Amino acid sequence: MSDDADGRKKLLASAGVPFGSFSKPNDHAPFARHVVLVTSGKGGVGKSTVAVNLASVYAQRDWRVGLLDADVHGPSIPRMLSLTEEELRWNDADRIQVAENFGIRAMSVGMTTPTADTPLIWRASVATSAMIQLLDDVDWGPLDVLVIDMPPGTGDTQITMLQEVHVTAAVVVTTPQAVATDDVRRAIRMLREVRVPVGGVVENMSGPLFGEGGGRALAEAYGVPFLGTIPLELAIRESSDQGRPLAATGTPAQRAYYQQIADGLGLDREPTGSP
């Protein structure tokens, strides 16, 4: 069996992990002071871009930052952090070694496949068990914040994460137009019904093409904070494709889009010198 096949087999060894509940979630991320979910009810709204750049803001502030790519069937974090050549590796303690770039410790199932276009043809139960193992068996080290890039929708992966980690806040990403905000409303309803704190709404790709104001109106309708507007800019798309987070490499004005989101969440950091 090849090393890649061995790695994938080992990654799936946690099938059958007992799940927690919404009222009493397990704690599969005790190493992180804060867990922030970046989520949406709809694909294509720029969730991963927001997740990468939000993580980058904290890294630029010298926080210990982890980024978990939970979008099993469409992992994009490796490309966005210039980690497409990374492969799954185990250290001497038989734990998965974390990949790192731009001060962000990252892990993605996209690092488990032999080629970039290898599909993960997994049932939901297998995919969610793999996510739990990427929390349990990765050598994350102590983190000030773990950012989790969620897949779109309100299905098995979302349910698993809400039952398996203590979430500090969820950042809900939408584009301004009604066809997007209609789906995002369902995501906010889900979070509120299971009593997960909604840190706020981000309006992404704002501007003439998709309109403006839909994200702010959505936040006002549900009584949650509005964290900011990110315009539809070519530089944002280019930086994502090039694997260079704009929050680390952009102009002060471009960095400010994502700094505002982090500021709005108001997370506190472990005092210097804490374990």
**What b/e readout covers 67-87, taking b as 16+ CB neighbours within 10 angstroms?**
bbbbbbeebbbbbbbebeebe
Segment 258-266 shows an average pLDDT of 98
> For residues 38 and 77, is the Cβ–Cβ distance under 8 A?
no
246 in a structural domain: yes
Domain tally, the chain: 1
* pLDDT reported for residue 185: 94
What average pLDDT does the chain have?
Answer: 89
Which residue range(s) make up the domain with 198? 29-265
109 in a structural domain: yes
214 in a structural domain: yes
Q: What distance in Å separates the CA atoms of residue 185 and residue 172, rounded to the nearest whole number?
A: 10
181 in a structural domain: yes
**Residue 139, amino acid:** D
Q: What distance in Å separates the CA atoms of residue 163 and residue 113, rounded to the nearest whole number?
A: 27
241 in a structural domain: yes
* pLDDT reported for residue 18: 57
Which token pair is 73? 């069937």
CB-based burial of residue 233 (10 Å sphere; 0-12 exposed, 13-18 middle, 19+ buried)?
Answer: middle
Percent of the chain with pLDDT over 90: 67
37 in a structural domain: yes
17 in a structural domain: no
**Residue 217, amino acid:** A
97-115 pLDDT, tens digit each: 999 999 999 999 888 777 7
CATH number of the domain within which 170 lies? 3.40.50.300
* pLDDT reported for residue 6: 53
- Quick one: pLDDT band at residue 256, thresholds 50, 70, 90? very high
According to DSSP, the residues that pair with 231 across neighbouring strands are: 206
> For residues 92 and 135, is the Cβ–Cβ distance under 8 A?
no
Give Cβ neighbours of residue 252 (< 8 Å, ≥ 6 apart).
none
270 in a structural domain: no
pTM (2 d.p.): 0.90
Segment 226-240 shows an average pLDDT of 96
- Quick one: pLDDT band at residue 1, thresholds 50, 70, 90? very low
Check pLDDT > 70 for residue 178: yes
Segment 239-263 shows an average pLDDT of 97
Q: What distance in Å separates the CA atoms of residue 48 and residue 112, rounded to the nearest whole number?
A: 19
191-218 pLDDT, tens digit each: 999 999 999 999 999 999 889 999 999 9
